[in-house]
Chain A
Amino acid sequence: MANLKEVRERIKSVIGTQQITKAMKMVSAAKLRKAQNAIVQMRPYSVKLSQILSNIMANLEGDAGGAYGVQREIKTACVVVVTSSRGLCGAFNTNIIKSAVATIDSELSEVRKNGKLTILCIGKKGYDFFRKRYKDCTIISDYVMTYNDPSFDNVAIASQSVMDEFVAAKYDLVTISYGRFKNAAMQFAETEQFLPVKRLEATASKTKSDYIFEPSKEQLLKTLIPNILQTQFQKCVLDTIASEHGARMTAMDKATENAEGLLIDLRINYNKARQEAITKELSEIVGGAAAL
Chain B
Amino acid sequence: MNISILSPTGEIYQGKITSVQLPGTTGLFEVLANHAPMVAALGQGTGRIINTDGKKMAFTIEGGFVEVLKNEVSLLVRGYQAK
Contacts and interface: CB of A to CB of B under 8 A. Distances in A.
B50 interface: no
A213 B39 contact: yes
Contacts of B79: 153
B6 to A, nearest CB: 5
Contacts of A210: 36-37
B41 A220 contact: yes
Contacts of A52: 39, 65, 67, 76
Contacts of B76: 45, 48-49, 52
Interface stretch (A36-44, A179-187, A264-272, A275-283): A36-44
Q: How large is the interface on B (under 10, 10 to 19, 20 to 34, 35 or more residues)?
A: 20 to 34
A42 B39 contact: no
B30 interface: no
Q: How large is the interface on A (under 10, 10 to 19, 20 to 34, 35 or more residues)?
A: 20 to 34
- Tell me the dominant secondary structure on chain A's binding face: helix
Contacts of B24: 214
Interface in B9-23: 9-11
Contacts of B4: 44
B25 interface: yes
A240 to B, nearest CB: 16
A258 interface: no
Nearest to A44: B6
A220 B9 contact: no
A41 B74 CA distance: 16
Contact of B37 (A51, A56, A151, A212): A212
A209 interface: yes
A143 interface: no
B6 A214 contact: no
B63 to A, nearest CB: 8
A15 interface: no
Nearest to B37: A211
Nearest to A47: B6
30 contacts: A41-B9, A42-B8, A44-B4, A44-B6, A45-B7, A45-B8, A46-B8, A48-B67, A48-B76, A49-B76, A52-B65, A52-B67, A55-B39, A55-B67, A151-B9, A153-B78, A209-B37, A210-B36, A211-B37, A212-B39, A214-B25, A214-B39, A214-B40, A214-B41, A215-B41, A220-B40, A220-B41, A223-B41, A227-B78, A234-B8
Interface of B: 4, 6-11, 24-26, 29, 36-41, 63, 65, 67, 69, 74, 76, 78-79
